Structure 1
Amino acid sequence: MAMNLHDQMMAQTRLAQTRRQFLTSGKHLLGGAALTSLAGAGLASLVDPANALASPGAMPMHFAPKAKRVIYLHMVGGPSQMDLFDYKPAMNTYFDKDLPESIRQGQRLTTMTSGQSRFPIAPSKFAFQQYGECGMWMNSDHLPWLSKKADEICWMRSLHTEAINHEPAITAMQTGNQITGRPCLGSWASYGLGSMNDNLPAFVVLVAIPTNREQEQAISSRLWSAGYLSGEHSGVSFRSSGDPILYINNPPGVPDAIRRRTIDGLNALNQMTYQSLGDPETHTRIQQYEMAFRMQASVPELVDINSESQHIFDLYGEDAKKPGTFANTALMARRLSERGVRFVQVYHNNWDHHANVATRLPDQCKDVDRPCYALLEDLKQRGMLDDTLVIWGGEFGRTIYTQGKLTKENYGRDHHPRCFTMWMAGGGAKGGTIYGETDDFSYNIVKDPLHIRDFHATVLHLLGFDHERFTYKYQGLDQKLTGVEPAHVIRDLIA
């Protein structure tokens, strides 16, 4: 008997299966058969291949979490730690003197400064002041709002990484590895925690547009990829203008009823394929079609900030009313978190200050200072800060020596992976902690080094997961965010 079209397609697909796909599907079938033989036919429905390969949702936690959700504010380009948080007054006497070889110790430089004949030291031109009972030194010229939160923030001044250029550095910061293709932190959070709102993704990405756009870095969807995890754990990018998500609205002349029937038809075809092959990505496709349909109703309400009170705009500033600004993005991050989104990733560009620090750094601070304060205060007022972890930082730091021409009024700084500063607040982070110390040149770490692997392990711990046991089987290995090198939870950062 001649096969129908669907059966022909299924036969061709089976022939195209890789050996790994075939063995993986066989693993589930054999496991189901064994369980059925041991427990009786009554459990047959529990080991149905469709159920066995379905997304497991939330993973079993290893211990009680301190954070239910994360808002990660990534400053793309590498903020200058010695111009913001790592006060180095001794450098004032070193102005225009070369960086001592005893400090550099032959360490790797980028091609942008490795050819310089000199490495003249550029002390920060900004004023600093101590804030809070913790006595945190901060840029008092341009961080007047954030400084009010000094005792609620956990300061980490000894982050370090092996990556010295943006592409591998930001990839390592987001995924734990300099090589692309791994799941990012947001995807791991989605995989582990599952969703709290069926009408919104578990992982959302927002890109804020900086006021100063002098030297922006490329930002692409690879940074919020799920890698080898199921595609449903990829970040969903919301746009700052036009439709918040491409194609979320029905085309002209297509009512919801027709869209519903179309999706039902597609889902029926996908379900036939899924039952024949058991490919989990087909199941993901079904879930994503359904999610997209539900988001048509939930997203318009989400992005309409007119319901916010004047008190909120007084808190965040009037820029919060302007789509695409960092203030608006911070407000949107709170609205997403409030509605059950597990992980909100925010990117703010133009922190790559190879030149013109005197103008660009104040512009960047003006963008983020008040909104960061407002976000923490807003979450606190709503009773959300205790279980919302807010993270701020870049992919590396900057050099104490200048790149290019040095004057007392202006200078530039190259990439520096040896030490940089990040901060966390809420979600179990220990406020008022100042962790790690660098030398007088903010060049080498002299106390409590904190590798990005340790940072990732600590974040996972706050979410309720042991980074050693929080794994995903891929290519025969138990893959994990922290990789194969040693990583440690830093207990001093945890409240």
Structure 2
Amino acid sequence: MEPNKNPRRPASRREFLIRSAGGFGAVAAAVLWPELAGASSRAATRTEHPLTPKPPHFKARATNVIFLYMDGGPGQMDTFDPKPELERWVDRPLPIDAPATQFNDIGTVMPSPWKFRPGGNSGLPISDLFPKLREQADKLCVIRSMTSKFPEHTAANYFLHTGHNPAGRPSMGAWCSYGLGSMADDLPGYVIVDGGLMPPGGIECYGSGFLSPSFQGSIFRGQGSPVAHARGRHTGTEREALRRRLLETLEPSSDQGLDPAIEAALDNYELGFKMQAAVPELGKLSGESDATRTLYGLDSEFEATRSFGRQCLLARRLIEKGVRFVQVPMVDVGYDRWDQHKDLIKGHTDNARAVDEPIAGLLADLESRGLLETTLVVFAGEFGRTPMAQGRNEAPEGQPDSRGRDHNPHGFSVWMAGGGVKGGMAHGSTDEFGYFAIEDPLEIHDLHATMLHLLGLDHTKLTYRFDGREMRLTDVHGRVIHPAIA
């Protein structure tokens, strides 16, 4: 159903229930607090809770996912895919045919401003943008041949998150919760730890589409209390009348049980009630040791590092509580994300500075607690960047290069760690300029198929009947990246 786009027309009761079903239920908790204790009396008319744990299709290597979402598109030749050939062609036209870019502002070849050095015992090369992450190189499986079908942020974001470019399809976090349920009784199955940036495409990137609203992502704040506290505005007889009206709405009107939208709303209201006790304790990071706080960069001089460190630490705590899928989006560094069409050096430096120490700390902390073995960590943006410079170098002499790079969906890097992944290796490759995937080109569908496989789910069998066909995250595509699996 379309949302109420006319602010002068009050939302219908059904619109209200559908639009509020994925919330935390704070308002309902304020209204229904005394009655929720008796919710079991209504349970007989309802089906099993959607987030009840379900068995996988086969033995899983991972039970949880932490998705590190690098919004904007980091440059592969600046991060995890060294291209020394670019040095030979510096400031010259690219000697191969290239498709039109997003903004078609094609300059000359620009080598990476950062050096690559081997990391760990494996010698996996990682650029100087990530000195701390380089120390964790033996845990990483870098996929250097990822591709996307879309060169524009919004469509590419929908594709990365849902496997489709139109809005309104279930996200990968929603599919994981649908397939496996949640191991947490008092928290959602799918949580986004907000860093202050809403991705192009908006909240639809985290939605449940045609699946139950119980599976959509719940946004937690990375700072302060994870969930905003809401207080009831009604008191006395007015509050009592409102409570009765809401209860009458939620009660089944026939012996066939609740309307699915109402049932989803009630499920989430009851979860919201439970969260009133669970969430405040979850957000208390003061109980973490000084060593752990330092590991995540919480004492960094750079505010963005501290912010992203809190996001990563909260992600670990959510995994410990049994949340199935946790997404950690890019933090706000004060200007555009990884989308550097100009000022590549400053932009990529600040973005990497924000995430390098916290991500390295997260991997080390998960390993020390015995959680990395069952937690799949994925690092990805929606696409990569071109090997040519975009824009002219207008910086004064002696100042850093002010040029950037355009979008490149034809070949870029992502990485996975933990959860059954083979570490200390790179799979696939791009050409000598880092433009096109040439060795085992992979699609986002393949990444999704592999993530589900590590969770014990066959992506061809995880389906939902909708609009006359069996829908799935990978549509009619996808293959498991078996060389990446230990």
| TM-score normalised according to structure 2 size | 0.83
Q: String of CA shifts for 1:332-382, please: whole Å, max 9, x gaps.
A: 111111111111111105110101011111111110001001001111111
Q: Are 1:319 and 1:325, in contact at CA under 8 Å, matched by a contact in 2?
A: no
Q: 1:359 to 1:192 in 2, by over 3 A?
A: same
* 2:132 equivalent to 1:145: yes
Q: Percent identity between the aligned chains?
A: 38
Aligned-pair CA distance for 1:160: 0.2
Deviates more, 1:278-287 or 1:303-312: 278-287
Q: Match of 2:388, SS?
A: strand
- Cα distance, 1:281 vs structure 2: 1.7
Report the more deviating stretch, 401-410 or 431-440: 401-410
2:71 counterpart letter in structure 1 = V
Which contiguous aligned blocks of 4+ residues in structure 1 show a shift greater than 6 angstroms?
A: 252-255, 258-265, 320-324
Q: Figure out how many residues of one structure are paired with residues of the other and give that number.
A: 434
CA distance in 2, matches of 1:260, 1:423: 54
Q: Structure 1 residue 274: deviation in Å?
A: 7.1
Deviations along 1:160-213, one digit per CA (max 9) or x if unpaired, are 011000000011000000111100000011111111111111111112248xxx
Is structure 2 residue 178 aligned with structure 1 residue 191? yes
Conserved 8 A contact 1:273-1:282: no
Q: Does 2:91 correspond to 1:92?
A: no
Q: Is 2:449 aligned against 1:449? A: no
Report the counterpart of residue 79 of structure 1 in structure 2.
Answer: 74
In structure 2, do the counterparts of structure 1 residues 53 and 297 end up closer, same or farther at CA, with 3 Å as the change threshold? closer
Amino acid at match of 1:494: I
Choose the corresponding residue for 1:373, options 354, 360, 365.
360
Q: 2:145 is paired with a residue of what secondary structure?
A: strand
Greater Cα shift, 71-80 or 57-66: 57-66
The answer as to 2:405 corresponding to 1:413 is yes
Match of 1:125 among 91, 103, 113: 113
Shift of 1:259: 9.6
Shift of 1:239: 2.3
Aligned partner of residue 62 in structure 1, secondary structure: coil
**One-letter code aligned to 1:458:** T
Structure ID, larger Rg = 1
Q: Would the aligned equivalents of 1:129 and 1:137 in 2 still touch at CA under 8 Å?
A: yes
Aligned partner of residue 327 in structure 1, secondary structure: helix
Q: 1:452 to 1:315 in 2, by over 3 A?
A: same
Q: How does 1:12-51 map to 2 (within 5 A)?
A: 50-51=45-46
Shift of 1:384: 0.6
| d(CA) in 2 for partners of 1:260, 1:154 | 57
TM-score by length of structure 1 reads 0.81
Contact 2:46-2:258 at 8 Å conserved across structures: no
Alpha-carbon distance change, 310 to 252 in structure 1, aligned in 2, over 3 angstroms: farther
Identify the match of residue 141 of structure 2 among 154, 176, 187.
Answer: 154
C-alpha distance after superposition, 1:254-282 (max 9, x if no partner): 79xx9999879745641324755642221
Asked if 1:335 is matched to 2:330, the reply is no
How far residue 234 of structure 1 moved from its aligned partner, in angstroms, is 0.7
Bigger mean CA offset, 367-376 vs 319-328: 319-328
Displacement after TM superposition at 1:409 (Å): 3.1
In structure 1, distance between residues paired with 2:239 and 2:255: 24
Q: Is the partner of 1:98 in helix, strand or coil?
A: coil
* RMSD of aligned alpha carbons: 2.9
Q: Which amino acid aligns with 1:167?
A: T
Structure-2 residue corresponding to 1:459: 451
CA offsets, 1:400-454, max 9 Å, x none?
0011114883420000000110111111111112101111110112211111111
Q: Name the structure 2 match of 1:250.
A: 231
The answer on whether the counterparts of 1:71 and 1:333 sit within 8 Å (CA) in structure 2 is yes
SS at match of 1:369: helix
Q: Note closer, same or farther for the CA distance 1:263–1:234 as it changes in structure 2 (3 Å cut).
A: farther
User: Would you say the 8 A contact 2:186–2:278 is kept in 1?
Assistant: yes
